[in-house]
A and B are shown apart, each in its own frame.
Chain A
């Protein structure tokens, strides 16, 4: 089955940039979506199709995808960005909807 690997945690100071990676075999050939999940809440879509932002998501959130790594970048990090972040792809050869292992972003 297709596996998406994320770092368990990322720490960042307020105002700085956080980069969350999502590794998968030739992930650059797939569309990657990203979700933000705050404690006790449902996930919220923050990036779709690698780099598109849904309405209402700040421009500080951006995404890229190439080779074996997709990246979610959060610029000018704020305390309210502290959450778990999950990448997700669709893979026809396995469990169709594959989620990454999740990354906890801590704002110092």
Chain B
């Protein structure tokens, strides 16, 4: 059973960079069968996709966040990471990492089958 676990600081100061890591267990991040995404959810609000990475290092980002987001992968540690720069209070949210199968029934899936438990990041001075 694959498990994902987010880790990182729970408090970040405005204008600084938010950094989170997702550790994958129960499966290899290098399998090539999955994309690995970051998704966030402000308190009491809906879900927002931030971006994803493939084992090769290829990335896709939400256009609304693209200028501030960097997602990277460390296959030796079975981890992938998120950096979000120039944060403001609007970036306060629970951040989830999630897995997306690349293909299902012969077509791209575009859904998330496993999620981490989430980690709350608060932007405040």
Cβ of A95: which chain B residues have Cβ within 8 Å of it?
Answer: 49, 62-64
Assuming the A-B contacts A41-B117, A99-B47, A99-B49, are A49 and B112 also in contact, with contact meaning beta carbons closer than 8 angstroms in the complex? no
B96 within 8 A of A: yes
Whether A97 and B49, one on each chain, are in contact in the complex, defined by CB atoms closer than 8 angstroms, is yes
Whether A97 and B113, one on each chain, are in contact in the complex, defined by CB atoms closer than 8 angstroms, is no
A42 within 8 A of B: yes
Assuming the A-B contacts A97-B49, A102-B46, are A54 and B113 also in contact, with contact meaning beta carbons closer than 8 angstroms in the complex? yes
Of all chain B residues, which has the CB nearest A55?
Answer: B113
Q: How far is B106's CA from A49's CA once the two chains are assembled, in angstroms?
A: 12
Of all chain A residues, which has the CB nearest B62?
Answer: A95
Among the listed B46, B48, B110, B116, which residue makes an inter-chain contact with A90, where contact means beta carbons less than 8 Å apart?
B110
Whether B46 and A86, one on each chain, are in contact in the complex, defined by CB atoms closer than 8 angstroms, is yes
Cβ of B96: which chain A residues have Cβ within 8 Å of it?
Answer: 42-43
A48 within 8 A of B: yes
Q: How far is B1's CA from A54's CA once the two chains are assembled, in angstroms?
A: 14
- Which 9 residue pairs spanning A and B have beta carbons closest together? A90-B110, A97-B49, A33-B111, A42-B115, A99-B47, A48-B111, A102-B46, A95-B62, A42-B118
Interface residues of A (CB under 8 A from B): 31, 33, 35, 41-45, 48-49, 54, 86, 88-90, 94-97, 99-102
